[in-house]
Structures are given as C-alpha cells and as structure tokens.
Amino acid sequence: MAALSSAALLGAATAHAQQTNRFTISGYVRDGATGESLPGVAVVHPATGQGTTTNTFGFYSLTLAASPDSVRLLVSALGYERLRLAQKADRSFTHDFRLKPSSAELAGVEVVGSKEEKVAESTRMGTINVPVAQIKLLPALFGETDVLKVLQLLPGVQAGGEGSSGLYVRGGSPDQNLMLLDGTPIYNASHLFGFFSVFNADAIKNVELIKGGFPARYGGRLSSVVDITMKEGNMEKLHGEGAIGLIASRFTLEGPIKKDTASFIFSARRTYIDILARPLIMAQGNGLVAGYYFYDLNGKLNWKLGARDRLYLSGYMGYDEFYANDESKRDNGDYYKQKSALGWGNRIVALRWNHVVNDRLFMNSHLTFTRYQFDVGSTQEERYTNGSGQTSTEKFSLNYLSNIQDVSAKVDFDYVPNPNHYIRFGGQYIRHQFRPGALQSEGSVDPAQNQATGRRIGADEASLYAEDDVKLTDRLKVNVGLRLNSFLVEKKLYPSVEPRLAARFLLTEDWALKGAYARTTQYVHLLTNSGIGLPTDLWVPATAKTQPQKAQQFSLGAARNLRFKGEDFELSFETYYKPMQNLIEFREGADFVGTTDDNYEAKITSGQGWAYGGEVFLQKKTGKTTGWIGYTLAWSNRRFAELNQGLTYPYKYDRRHDFKLVVIHEFSPTLTLSGTFVYGTGQAVTLSQGRYSLGPDSGPTFEDYGTRNSYRMAAYHRLDLDLSHTKKKRWGEVVNSFSVYNAYNRKNPYFIYLGRGQGSDKLSYRQVSLFPILPSFSKTFRF
C-alpha cells in the first residue's frame, strides 16, 4: 500500500511538474452567519469548466493555468447566495469564502444531496446526502425527529419492524452498517428497544449514506456506511435550540468561546417516561417502583489554531435503563428488597487535527475511543427473624454483561494536484477489546459458589488505503482505489486485499452510465436472535474458529438530470449483486442466555448469503414542493449447513417490493406540510405446519415447522403526516408541529403467535399489531 500511495503521488507530481505557468487557489468555505465549515461546496472556474468541491472540513484546492487576465471563480451551494471572485492570477494564493444564506433559495431547500455536482457527473454510486433541515420537517413518531428513520425512506434501505430504527441495507444485517459519528464508530445506534436512534438531529450538521461503490477510505463493514458529522459550534454568536415532545425533550446551546477563533456546542436529550409513569405505579401501593428512560449528551469544541491548523474535540455519551425495584417490610423490622435493571449505552471521544500541509495537500489526523456495553442483573436482599428471635440478612446478586471497546489512531490525506485528479490516501490502527459475555454472581449463603466468568479478547486491526478520482476524458471519469487490511486475534492473522472501482460515462450532458465494484471484509460479528433492536446482541471477533465476513458488490446503473416545466429533477437507476460469506447465526435452540466468552463459539454456525435487486430513485430538490419517490425490487437469501437442513431460505428481512414516497410542501415561509408513505412486502416468518405427539393424548407435543421463513406476514404500509407552523418572536422563533403516525390506522403485523380465540378451543395463528393511529405534538424553539 505504501508503494501504491507513493506511485500515486509520484505520478501526480510528475504530471504537475510537466505543467508550467500554473497556480493554485486554496482555502476554506464557511457559512457566513455561523462560521461552520461547509462540505461539498462547488468551486468552479467558468471559463474552462474546471472545478472542485470542498472536503468534509470545508477545504478546497483548485489548480489552473496562469492567465494575463484576472481569474474568475464561482462558489455555489444550494441554500446560499452564489459568490464570485475576480483576482489577478500571477501566483498561488489562499482565499476563504463566507457564503451568505439565501432566503430565496431556502424556500426550496434541497431534499436529498447537498452537493452542487449533478447526479450524472459524479462517479459515486449508491451515495446520498440527507440535509438535517429536511430531516426535521418529516413526520416523527411521538414527535421525536430521527435520522435513521429518514434513511429508511430511501430505496435499498428497510426497517427491521414496526417503529424500529434499525437499517437493513441491500439484504444486509444491522451489524454490517458502519455507523460513524465524527469519524468514530457507534456499535449500537438504538434507544427504547430499537424505536429511536441515538443521533440527536439538533447536534448534527451532515448525514451521508453509502450503499454501494464504497470508496477505499471506508472499510470494516459489508453493507453500508452512515457517516454523520456533528456541528462545530457557532463562531459568531450564541445560539440555542430546543424542543418539548410527548416523551422526551432536548436542548442545544452553541456559540463562540473567542469570536472567529474557538467555539463550542453542547446538546442534551432525555425521555421522561419514567417520571410520568412513577405516580401511577406508586399509587398501586405494592412497593414496586419501575420505569425506563434514555438520555444523550453531545459536545464539541472547535479551535482555529492558525491559518493552516484546526483542532476539534468531540464526545458523545448515551444510555438506556429499564429498572424495577420491589420492597416489602414487616412490622418486626424484617424486609425483602429486589432490584432488577437492564441497561446499555455508548461512549465516544474523538480528537481531530486538521493541517494544511501546502496549497494542494490537506491532512486530517484522528484519535478516537468508543465503547458499547450492556448489563442485565438482579440484586436481592432479605432480613428475617427465626423462631428464637435471631435475625439474619442474606444478599445475592447475579449480573450478566457484554461490551466492546476500541482505541484508534488514523491519518487521512487529500491531495489535489490538478482538477483532473483528487487523490486520497491514509492509514488506521485499531485496538479492539471484546467481552462477549461475562456472568458474575455473589451470595452470602455459600461464598464458595460465588463466581465471575468471562475473559477479554484483544485484537489488532490495521489498514492502508489509496484512491484517485480521476477524469480520463470529458466523458469518462473513474474512481480507482485499493485497501489493505489485517486483523490479528489470538495469534491468528487475517489479511485482506480490497480493490475498489467506480466509473461513469457521459452519454450526453444529462445522461450517464455508471458501474462499481467493491470487495469488503468485516472482522466483527453481531450475535443476535432479536429483530427489534433489543440490547441482547453480543459483539464477537473473528477468531481461528470463526472467520471474518466477506462480501463483493457489483453495481450497474444509469443517472439522468431532468428539467420539466422549469423544475429540476434527478433520476437514477441501480442494480446490484452482493454475495456474502462467513455469516454467522445461533444454532437451532441457542441464544444469548448463558453465553460467555468461553462458550459462544460452540453456539454459532456459519453460512452464506446472496442479495440482488434493482432500485429506482426520482427526486425533486428545489421549489415549494420537494420530495422523492423510491422503489426497490430485491431478493435476499441465506444458506447454513446446520440450519434448515442445509437448504437455501429467504432472509428474515427479504422484501420483494419496497416503495417509498416523501413529499414536503411549503405553503408559506412559516407553514409546511409533509407526508411519507411506505409499502413493503410482508416479512418472512417460520410457522408451524403441524403438530404431533409420540405417546398418548397426555404425552409431549412437538411442532413441525417445515422450511425456515417459508411464510409471509401481511404487507406493510403506512401513511404519516406532519404540519409545522413557525411563529417569529422578538428573541427568535417557535415551531409548533402536529404529527400523525399511521394516519389511516393500518393494523400492520408486528409478530404472529399460535393461540386460541376467545371462547374457542381451536388453535390458530393470530396477529399482533403494535401502533394504531398515533397523533403527537412537539414545540421547538430557537434563539
């Protein structure tokens, strides 16, 4: 890989050396009102048509031929006024742009894709940017804006179940999604047993989803990358934002520490389900106190150390806890206490240093820490008096925990020798520490029976990558890259070579053919037997007995820029084929109960998977009415030698047809109506085909389940609506939002069970639906 990086740089440097009388313009593009860096802004030289876009941190570099005339640049981003620069071009220079938000353009805020580059021009496939402003306008369950639920409205992405925030991308499972918050992995992105995600939209600046054609700079997962960037903090003035909903409230505060030099942002969110329910529970008078809550805390500091250096320190902490405390007392002073709890959460810390090495080379170094853990346990304490009047106290506790922890160092370089090349290269080292399952018990009756099981498994992962987005001709543009990985665990080394290729060929100015190939490797597995995001999922590493997951993805499609009656549309069509190896599942009858570090490998089996299909995506970005239509025709199958008699079966979340419609209409700058409609083929389930007994009528009964996932639940469809009204105040504004989830009260299946109807002894399968029509209200304030 070092040779590959050196060759790429040497080739680019040689090409540059052969070009005389050239100069480079570089700098940052920022929001004129807040000082936030703006990624994906187009910086174009109209005279030649050459241009570039800013990177994640708002940095750009553009090399042009010298001219006796002044160079003229056009800087543009949707939602901002265009900015022009005219300056004599006799030498290289730096120039920072501050774009002013445009109220005229904001009337038609972009729905998907915040970049000016047209869909037909980009080499990338399966990549979509979702502006946070639009995420906040869409209908929300219980009034809680959710980033991942909006991503579920895109083609090729499915929800795991009713209300779930899990992502199933192109036939993959949730653990195959690389969730990044400021470049740091989040291992469990769910709150409230999967109904909400951990991402607070008020603290987020940018959201990008990559479903295929993965650039070489991303690795470690098979199905997708969700790259989320936190806000940096307002450099100009103090700004606050918050919301009060039915089950949770949130508050965000940001502002300058030193104007134009340093800033901060802090955001907090908490549910109050436990507080609201506590008086009702205590009114029962039985000594039971139970509840559930979750919280999120986001923070970030941003320092401008100089013209070439910036430092960012960001952190996140979130936790869910379900608890039940029971206590009873007797007149003689004896008592019995029991405390039970289930909790899970993430903690991350990220330190970034940006350095402009020169006007064409940008460096980002990154130190991160991430930890996910869940705990379930119970503690009992009893005091009792025997017949002779002597008192004794007994205590007993049993706890089960599982966690994964990473410490990582990473460095990335962006090198732009000329407008025809955009080179990225870098490397990363990760120290993993796994604790798949640890059982701890303690009791005072027999100390010899106290135990603490569970060992930690350490692993080292290293990677190097290089990629070049190169324009070969006016019609042909290619992104070619290579990623080298290695994973060392318990003296077992797993190397991996991952070529990446994406290309686009312009048939006309508005029509393009696209293709992509990516080979990916995943060294971590998620053991799960739950589809609704319950925190009983165990993260385990690849070992000598359990090989890493591998996949290839082939993509082919077309893209078209459309203009109809003065309105701009983008149309894309993609097909994909993704074979996967070394997938793991629990063996028949096994689950996480009693699973520890020493026995989990005996409970699992490995197999293969295949996912393929086609996606159509039509989006309207500007105007008073915006939105998109997405349709997916897909297949996803699995085969395990030790499951289903070795026969191929459909994956649980195999959906043949998946349709999404999103519409946002602004009646005025203060009144917005939005709606979403989803339809999907029913979820695959395994049901009993019959039952038999081996003895008399009173003997044991056995179920014959037949082929795995051979039945389908009823089709899923739902309509959600949201009406938002903004009131201007002297100190800021207030947004009142009224949402309706499942507007026509569709009884969608959540699960199916075998039972008897009321007044009947006949067994039949019965459907359980979770959410009927649910209205909700939230109030948001900004100052």
Distance CA 113, CA 127 (A): 9
- Average pLDDT value for the chain: 83
Distance CA 391, CA 376 (A): 30
Highest mean predicted confidence (pLDDT) among 129-143, 274-288, 528-542: 129-143
Within-domain flag for 527: yes
The pLDDT score that the predictor gives to residue 113 is: 39
Query: pLDDT per residue over 714-756, tens digit each?
Result: 899 999 999 999 998 888 888 899 999 999 999 988 878 777 7
CB 459 within 8 A of CB 432: yes
Q: Are residues 158 and 241 in the same domain?
A: yes
For 348, the token pair is: 């991350």
The residue that leads in pLDDT, 160 or 454, is 160
Query: pLDDT per residue over 292-327, tens digit each?
Result: 888 999 999 999 998 899 999 999 999 988 888 887
Q: What is the average pLDDT across 181-201?
A: 86
CB 96 within 8 A of CB 269: no
Domain count, the chain: 2
With a cut of 70, say whether residue 166 has pLDDT above it: yes
- Burial class from Cβ neighbours inside 10 Å (0-12, 13-18, 19+) for residue 565 reads exposed
Q: Select from 57, 75, 106 the last residue of a domain.
A: 106
Highest mean predicted confidence (pLDDT) among 191-205, 359-373, 382-396, 763-777: 359-373
Within-domain flag for 727: yes
- For the chain, how far is it from start to end, CA to CA, in angstroms? 50
The pLDDT score that the predictor gives to residue 707 is: 83
Region of poorest pLDDT, from 189-198, 349-358, 362-371, 733-742: 189-198
State the CATH number of the domain containing residue 596. 2.40.170.20
The pLDDT score that the predictor gives to residue 448 is: 45
With a cut of 90, say whether residue 64 has pLDDT above it: no
State the CATH number of the domain containing residue 42. 2.60.40.1120
Distance CA 374, CA 82 (A): 49
Q: Using CA atoms in the order 488, 494, 495, 496, what is the torsion angle rounded to 10 degrees?
A: -120
Q: What is the average pLDDT across 595-622?
A: 82
Q: Are residues 235 and 92 in the same domain?
A: no
Q: For 465-526, where are the alpha helices, taking DSSP H only? A: none
Distance CA 496, CA 152 (A): 31
Within-domain flag for 408: yes
Within-domain flag for 503: yes
- The number of residues in the chain equals 783
Query: pLDDT per residue over 577-607, tens digit each?
Result: 999 999 988 777 666 555 555 567 777 888 9
Q: Are residues 137 and 244 in the same domain?
A: yes
In 330-390 the beta strands, taken as DSSP E runs, fall at 335-358, 361-385
With a cut of 50, say whether residue 447 has pLDDT above it: no
Query: pLDDT per residue over 500-540, tens digit each?
Result: 999 999 998 888 999 999 999 999 988 775 443 445 567 88
Q: Are residues 157 and 84 in the same domain?
A: no
Within-domain flag for 9: no
For 747, the token pair is: 């009884």
Residue with token string 């639940």: 713
Distance CA 522, CA 498 (A): 11
Query: pLDDT per residue over 169-186, tens digit each?
Result: 999 988 899 999 999 999
The pLDDT score that the predictor gives to residue 7 is: 45
Angle at 581 between CA 2 and CA 210, to 5 degrees: 60
Q: Are residues 86 and 147 in the same domain?
A: no
With a cut of 80, say whether residue 160 has pLDDT above it: no
Nearest residue to 634 (alpha-carbon basis) of 127, 150, 125, 156: 156
Q: Are residues 245 and 376 in the same domain?
A: yes
Q: Are residues 138 and 208 in the same domain?
A: yes
Q: What is the average pLDDT across 658-670?
A: 92
Contacts of 451 (CB under 8 A, 6+ apart): 439, 440, 441
Parallel/antiparallel/unpaired status of strands 649-650 and 604-620: unpaired
Q: Are residues 75 and 151 in the same domain?
A: no
Residue 156: other Cβ atoms inside 10 A: 26
Q: Select from 106, 135, 162 the last residue of a domain.
A: 106
The pLDDT score that the predictor gives to residue 245 is: 83
Q: Select from 73, 106, 139 the last residue of a domain.
A: 106
In 542-603 the beta strands, taken as DSSP E runs, fall at 549-564, 567-586
Q: Using CA atoms in the order 399, 404, 522, 170, what is the torsion angle rounded to 10 degrees?
A: 70
CB 60 within 8 A of CB 52: yes
CB 177 within 8 A of CB 159: no
Within-domain flag for 115: no
Q: Are residues 398 and 315 in the same domain?
A: yes
Q: Exposure pattern of 582-601 as b/e (b: 16+ CB <10 Å)?
A: bbbbbeeebebeebbbeebe
H/E element, 4: helix 2-17
Region of poorest pLDDT, from 41-55, 224-238, 337-351: 41-55
Distance CA 164, CA 159 (A): 6
SS3 543: coil
Residue 289 half-sphere exposure toward CB, CA atoms < 13 A: 9
Distance CA 283, CA 133 (A): 43
What DSSP string describes 205-274? Answer: EEEEEE-SS--TT--S-SSEEEEEEE----SSS-EEEEEE-SSEEEEEEEEEEETTTEEEEEEEEEE-HH
The residue that leads in pLDDT, 445 or 264, is 264
With a cut of 80, say whether residue 350 has pLDDT above it: yes
Nearest residue to 353 (alpha-carbon basis) of 340, 367, 337: 367
Within-domain flag for 695: no
- Burial class from Cβ neighbours inside 10 Å (0-12, 13-18, 19+) for residue 20 reads exposed
Q: Are residues 585 and 446 in the same domain?
A: yes
The pLDDT score that the predictor gives to residue 201 is: 87
The pLDDT score that the predictor gives to residue 593 is: 58
The pLDDT score that the predictor gives to residue 481 is: 95
Within-domain flag for 239: yes
The residue that leads in pLDDT, 264 or 531, is 264
For 211, the token pair is: 């479903």
Distance CA 48, CA 50 (A): 5
Q: What is the average pLDDT across 219-234?
A: 92
Q: Are residues 80 and 202 in the same domain?
A: no
Contacts of 759 (CB under 8 A, 6+ apart): none
Q: Are residues 80 and 183 in the same domain?
A: no
Q: How far is CA 692 from the centre of its chain?
A: 46
Q: Using CA atoms in the order 657, 658, 661, 662, what is the torsion angle rounded to 10 degrees?
A: -170
What pTM, to 2 d.p., does this model score? 0.86
Q: Give the range of the structural domain holding residue 83, as residue numbers without chain letter.
A: 22-106
Q: What is the average pLDDT across 17-42?
A: 80
